[in-house]
Amino acid sequence: MKIWRELLGYVKVIVIVVVITLVINNVVLINAKIPSPSMEKTLMVKDRLFGFRLAYGINLDLFGYKISEKFKDPERFDIVIFKYPDDPSQLFVKRVIGLPGETVNIVDGKVYINDSEEPLDDSFCPETPEGSFGPYTVPEGCYFMLGDNRNHSMDSRYWQNPFVEEDAIEAEVAVRYWPLNKIGTVK
């Protein structure tokens, strides 16, 4: 009898740990690994990071009951994890550049928003970006994404569907946890 109670105690602990892990993994955090050099030098190949799923709000469907609450909108220069528009089974990590309703124009590697005469800050790019693209008018509820390593990034400029819908954004990148010598927040 005592053995069964002890065994039941272990089972309860295991069930609680599994439930907590599932909730954290599916509601609070997302784990990602950087597979390509598209975000270098900000994020390097094989970096591991956590994204905060609740950064922009809650969007859950639990057993047919939908919970949706928006906290804030993604902002320009946020680094986000999202479903790739051309294949939603893949997750991508890029930087938000164009916001809903804006026109993004890239001239000689410089990014201009809404016919501004001043280009966006690109100091996080490891080399001088090249090429001219656009203009792209970002639809309402969508975002335009670029990698930091622009000359080596497959991003909104090259996709069949160049805009990421807000619902496809899974999380804002919160913390790099691997490699250990680079642990910390990412911006």
Q: Which of 72, 83, 94, 153 does the annotation list as catalytic?
A: 94
- Both tokens of 124, joined, read 């996080």
The answer to whether 131 and 106 are in contact (CB under 8 A) is: yes
**What are residue 173's phi and psi, to 5 degrees?**
-60, 130
- What phi, psi does 38 have (nearest 5°)? -65, -20
Cβ proximity of 58 and 72 under 8 Å: no
Catalytic annotation present for 123: no
Do β-strands 65-70 and 79-83 pair in parallel, antiparallel, or remain unpaired? unpaired
- Chain centroid to CA 179: 19
Contact 95, 77 (CB under 8 A): yes
Selected catalytic residue, list 38, 68, 89, 182: 38
Output the CA torsion 33→141→57→81 (10° steps). 0
- The residues annotated as belonging to the active site are 38, 94
